[in-house]
Structure 1
Amino acid sequence: MCRHFAYLGRELPLTELIHPPQGLYEQSWAPRQQRYGTVNADGFGLGWYPPPPPPGTTATTWSDAAPPDHRPNAAAPPPARYRRAVPIWADQNLPDLARTVRSRCVLGAVRDATPGTSQDESAAAPYRCGPWLFSHNGAVPSWQRLPDELRLPLSAEELLWMEARCDSALLWLLIHRRLLTGEPAAEVLAELVPRIAALRPGVRLNILLTDGARLTAVRHGDTLWCRSDADGVVLASEPDASAGWREVPDHTLVTVAHDEPVRFRPLAPAAVPPAQAAATERTATP
């Protein structure tokens, strides 16, 4: 299990988002609402969006090694990332980074690794490709068989592109391949999450996704909270000590955009054909 947050609003230093009392930094060793696992010491990550380049200058090139047809149009600087495989409190470089870097959109996470998954920083959220940053808080049982059961087989090239061996990296690949077709993020999550939940009862799929201009999130199976103030909007696994938080209902899609109200939308359940459901139940790992 993990803890994560996403912010969209006016430009703030990272430290204001990471280090408030009972915020992400403290949640790494003292989460108050984490029901699975007790400490998030298996790495952390931060992703943020730098300001656009001045007129007349060349935008930073995209650095992701994406599969063919997965490379975005480099019209703006890509989001930056800082990820480590150490606990967030053990990184002596983070305080200087967090107080000097500012952004209008930030995604951060601390990790409690699932046994059998990658243990290095490649498995720490946020995942990134093109303009997108992604984080998953939860667990998908028997995740290795999921693409076939969803009737979404992956090519060898796509499998080699996966950053890490874990359920979060697989989810990101399944989501991102649809974003590349131009499908809106909200519709991708609203369709895919119920399908996975129908195949994997008890799955936990709390998701944060952003392209720097909009946040899209799902609460399914774990906690998610929302706070809006004069600075902007924060979505987080659990609230910090600030006032004004409200809990997002379970099985809910959340969308946030600049100068628009936060929108909540219940997820519609997905039906699984009986034969497919029976086959999944027979092959599922206890």
Structure 2
Amino acid sequence: MCRHLAYVGAPAHLGALLVEPAHSLLRQSWAPRHQRHGTVNADGFGVGWYADGDPVPARYRRAGPIWGDQSFADLARVVRSGAVLAAVRDATVAGADGEAAAAPFAADRWLFSHNGAVSGWPGSLAPLAAGLPPTDLLSLEARCDSALVWALVQARLRRGEPLSQALADTVVEVAEAAPGARLNLLLTDGTTIAATAWGDTLWYLAVPGRGTVAASEPYDDDPRWREVPDHTLLHASRTDVLLTPLKEPPA
């Protein structure tokens, strides 16, 4: 469920990343090619980006489908950034959270997205939620599994863990508490990308002199796209990509 994308590299128009490619995130909202769970991503979308000289990202999020938002089409035409994280949300049962449940989630200099689902939600994560400070729980943007997973990642980041370690440790912890959970996560600080492949597809495209994209699926047919194996952590800058196997929790 859901489709998402992160980019770091030379400044590019949002439209060049999210709208113009033949199989862009916009098209993936109704016609994904590799989505294993769900069929249409129409329950909200969002994009976050970084401006030169400002480490805190801006966000644009809506509760409706990306294809019907003319304001986003105009914004994508003119906004340029060297670091972007965007997502379209799978159609789900009705809820009260609306826009607040649409990725990317944000705090400080970080942007985060979750493609997947936590099995046994919410009971399966109750023990992990109990370990968070009450203020973190009261500050959740939405009452969904993605928001709580983000709170768990944030707690690690604020303890000083690097992006990749914070994602990897959270995925293993959540997978142990909720066997069968799908936990494809994206995280960026505007300079690097950390991502996990855990239960759904993840691909990356590294173009010398331009930058690196990590995405649920390729947005075009460039032969340089590479699929990330399941249960793998990706760490990427605009020039380098490192893949590391993730340890599976005990059965």
Tell me the TM-score normalised to structure 2 length: 0.93
Residue type at the aligned position of 1:100:
V
Q: CA deviation at 1:216?
A: 0.2
Equivalent pair of 1:13/1:102 in contact (CA under 8 Å): yes
Residue type at the aligned position of 1:236:
A
Cα deviations by residue, 1:27-84 (Å, 9 ceiling, x for unpaired):
00111111211100111000000110xxxxxxxxxxxxxxxxxxxxxxx441000001
Distance 2:80 2:214 in 1: 18
Q: CA deviation at 1:178?
A: 1.1
Unaligned runs of 5+ in 1: 53-75, 273-286
- 1:49-64 maps to which residues of 2 (within 5 A)? 49-52=50-53
Structure 1 runs of 4+ aligned residues shifted over 6 Å read none
Q: Which has the larger radius of gyration?
A: 1
Judged with a 3 Å threshold, the aligned counterparts in structure 2 of structure 1 residues 247 and 48 are, in CA distance, closer, same or farther, namely: same
Q: CA deviation at 1:269?
A: 2.1
Aligned residue number for residue 225 of structure 2: 245
Judged with a 3 Å threshold, the aligned counterparts in structure 2 of structure 1 residues 189 and 152 are, in CA distance, closer, same or farther, namely: farther
Indicate yes or no: 2:131 matched with 1:130: no
Q: Determine which of 255, 259, 264 is the counterpart of 2:235.
A: 255
Tell me the TM-score normalised to structure 1 length: 0.82
Distance 1:205 1:166 in 2: 14
Aligned residue number for residue 141 of structure 2: 163
What secondary structure sits across from 1:143 in the alignment?
Answer: coil
Distance 1:165 1:151 in 2: 12
Distance 2:130 2:16 in 1: 40
Aligned residue number for residue 86 of structure 1: 64
Q: CA deviation at 1:223?
A: 0.4
Cα deviations by residue, 1:67-121 (Å, 9 ceiling, x for unpaired):
xxxxxxxxx4410000011100100111210011100000010001443654410
Equivalent pair of 1:117/1:166 in contact (CA under 8 Å): no
Aligned residue number for residue 166 of structure 2: 188
Indicate yes or no: 2:32 matched with 1:31: yes
* Fraction of identical pairs, as percent: 53
Q: CA deviation at 1:155?
A: 3.4
Indicate yes or no: 2:188 matched with 1:210: yes
- 1:67-106 maps to which residues of 2 (within 5 A)? 76-106=54-84
Aligned residue number for residue 18 of structure 2: 18
Equivalent pair of 2:38/2:91 in contact (CA under 8 Å): no
Equivalent pair of 1:118/1:166 in contact (CA under 8 Å): no
Cα deviations by residue, 1:147-166 (Å, 9 ceiling, x for unpaired):
44348523332221000010
Unaligned runs of 5+ in 2: none
Please give the root-mean-square deviation of Cα atoms over the aligned residues, in Å. Answer: 1.7
Distance 1:13 1:151 in 2: 38
Residue type at the aligned position of 1:239:
P
Distance 1:174 1:265 in 2: 21
What secondary structure sits across from 2:122 in the alignment?
Answer: helix
What secondary structure sits across from 1:11 in the alignment?
Answer: strand
Distance 1:248 1:156 in 2: 36
Q: Determine which of 123, 141, 146 is the counterpart of 2:119.
A: 141
Indicate yes or no: 2:240 matched with 1:266: no
Give the count of matched residue pairs.
248
Distance 1:254 1:112 in 2: 23
Q: CA deviation at 1:194?
A: 1.7
What secondary structure sits across from 1:39 in the alignment?
Answer: coil
Distance 2:129 2:42 in 1: 35
Distance 2:238 2:39 in 1: 35
Q: Determine which of 86, 94, 99 is the counterpart of 1:121.
A: 99
